[in-house]
Amino acid sequence: MQEVEGKVAVITGAASGIGRAMARAFGAAGMRVALADVEAGALREARAEIAADGVEAAAFACDVSQADAVRKLAEDALSAFGRIHVVCNNAGVFCGGTTWGTSVNDYEWILRVNVWGVIHGLRTFVPILLEQNEPAHVVNTASMAGLTTGPLTAAYFMSKHAAVALSESLFHELAMRPGCPVGVSVLCPELVRTRIFEAERNRPPHLKRDAAEDLPEETKQLETTVGSFASLGVDPRVLAERTLAAIREDRFWILPPEGDPWRVAARLRNRSIDDGANPTLGGALAGEGL
């Protein structure tokens, strides 16, 4: 999809972080943008910021974990702009914990947003893009966590592996359709300077952690440590520009630069699979580059 000027992008998780940066980058490239997020106040601010740049933008509150809400988002975006060309299933949340110590609520919250949010996005928007039969592109935000594994973040890692698998399957399915003009990318960022480690602010009440719950020490330590690294992450604008380039180049993988510690970690994991060896930690997962 080389030509993006005048096209319409729908971005979830657009009120902050990577999604907000995507909206600004896409707008600067001449696209019209539909921003969606569960955080209404921040969403209004993001839309005003982007509109102030002269970008035609609309904002729609949307909880991606709910299929009806995502269908409503598509209806609203079509009503506002008439067409949809780029869909970024970008909303995501994070929490830590051991595989056995992570609560059911934590697992459910992570999977509802990070996995079901992508599923609802694909089920809703891909049929629209296919029916339009115009150059279009789907971007699913995963993570380098989707290409690696590590301790104390099982729910998050597994959710991002699911996002990668969904994206690869979609790629193959669209490639099987002769002349299909819809491309697919999966965004696998390294550590990024966002508020994902503060995602608790948007957790629905019925999935909140019990205030009286005594969190395992590993969970407390992990969430405190990882959160403290957020300021060391890559600027979200870098990820937005990588994404825009991948859309224009019809490129599936959106990865950190070669040599990045997360690429090292992914390569070590792939090597252990090839060798039939036990899992090992290396690169970013061993603290390199942090």
Tell me the CA distances in angstroms from 56 to 28, 144, 187, one per residue in order: 10, 32, 25
Q: In what order do the strands lie in the sheet with 86-89?
A: 57-61, 32-37, 8-12, 86-89, 136-141, 182-187, 253-254
Residues of each domain in the chain carrying CATH 3.40.50.720: 8-256
Distances, alpha carbon 104 to alpha carbons 56, 97, 158, in Å:
41, 11, 14
* H, E, C per residue of 140-162: EECCHHHCCCCCCEHHHHHHHHH
pTM of this prediction exceeds 0.75: yes
**Cα→Cα distances 48→104, 244, 287, Å:** 37, 22, 39
Active site residues: 156
Helix axes 104-114, 154-175, angle to 10 degrees: 30
DSSP string covering 106-124 = HHHHHHHHHTHHHHHHHHH
Quick one: CA dihedral 49, 79, 89, 112, positive or negative? positive
Predicted pLDDT of residue 1:
82
Q: What is the pLDDT of residue 194?
A: 87
Residue 48: what pLDDT? 97
pLDDT at position 65 is 98
Residue 283 near residue 289, CB atoms below 8 Å: yes
Whole-number pLDDT of residue 201: 87
Alpha helices, DSSP H only, in the chain? Answer: 17-28, 40-52, 67-81, 104-114, 116-132, 154-175, 217-229, 236-249, 261-275
What is the spatial distance between Cα 207 and Cα 288, in angstroms, rounded to a whole number? 34
Superfamily of structural domain 8-256: NAD(P)-binding Rossmann-like Domain (3.40.50.720)
Report the alpha-carbon distance of residue 257 to residue 219 in Å, rounded.
30
One digit per residue, the tens of pLDDT, for the chain of length 290 reads 889 999 999 999 999 999 999 999 999 999 999 999 999 999 999 999 999 999 999 999 999 999 999 999 999 999 999 999 999 999 999 988 899 989 999 999 999 999 999 999 999 999 999 999 999 999 999 999 999 999 999 999 999 999 999 999 999 999 999 999 999 999 999 999 887 778 888 888 889 887 656 677 777 666 676 666 677 889 999 999 999 999 999 999 999 999 999 999 999 999 999 999 999 888 778 776 55
CA distances from 167 to 17, 137, 187, 229 (A): 21, 12, 10, 28
- Write down the pLDDT at residue 211: 62
* pLDDT for the residue numbered 285: 82
